Structure 1
């Protein structure tokens, strides 16, 4: 009985320790998906912005591919802020 409880406890600790890494990967991927979704509407209305954003997006995707989740999250956060500022100013199609 004690052995199974210790095994269950060890498994729980291991799962909880790994959770932040999975969450960070998910945030990186989620941010990239939000960016891609936003670019579908923003890019046609502003090719210059699309070119500037594309360089940053490619860099963030390269960070993700290297496994540098912190850099990916930092980059995508900046990109999302820039896109949000652009769309709030009425730069996106339909605004």
Structure 2
């Protein structure tokens, strides 16, 4: 019974790490898929999205998947705009 408990505890402790890794990868893929939208953004917003994308990729390369997911999520939120629609304001 102790082995089962130890296994359950170990699985519960590692689950957040897998979730963060998945979030990082999924969000980076969404950003890659949105490259056409990013190219139509106005200068300040485009630069901010590109900076968060760069920071996300650097964090992933450094093994910090939580920071990667955070930066990628911020970039995606900027793309969505305040109304939840894809932000294509070219101004």
TM-score strictly above 0.5: yes
Structure with the bigger percentage of helix? 1
1:31–1:80: 8 Å Cα contact kept in structure 2? Answer: yes
**Relative to structure 1, is the Cα distance of residues 20 and 89 closer, same or farther in structure 2, using a 3 angstrom cutoff?**
closer
TM-score by length of 2: 0.74
| More off after superposition, 46-55 vs 23-32 | 46-55
1:19-54 C-alpha deviation (Å, 9 max, x unpaired): 111111111111111111112x31453484796233
Deviation at 1:70, TM superposition (A): 2.5
Please give the secondary structure, in 2, of the residue aligned with 1:18. helix
Cα RMSD over matched residues? 2.7
**Relative to structure 1, is the Cα distance of residues 61 and 13 closer, same or farther in structure 2, using a 3 angstrom cutoff?**
same
Are 1:91 and 2:88 counterparts? yes
TM-score by length of 1: 0.71
Q: Which runs of 5+ in 1 are unaligned?
A: none
**Runs of 4+, deviation exceeding 4 Å:** 46-51
Distance 1:23 1:75 in 2: 15
Are 1:45 and 2:40 counterparts? yes
1:43-91 C-alpha deviation (Å, 9 max, x unpaired): 4534847962333312110011112223212211210111111883762
Q: Which runs of 5+ in 2 are unaligned?
A: none
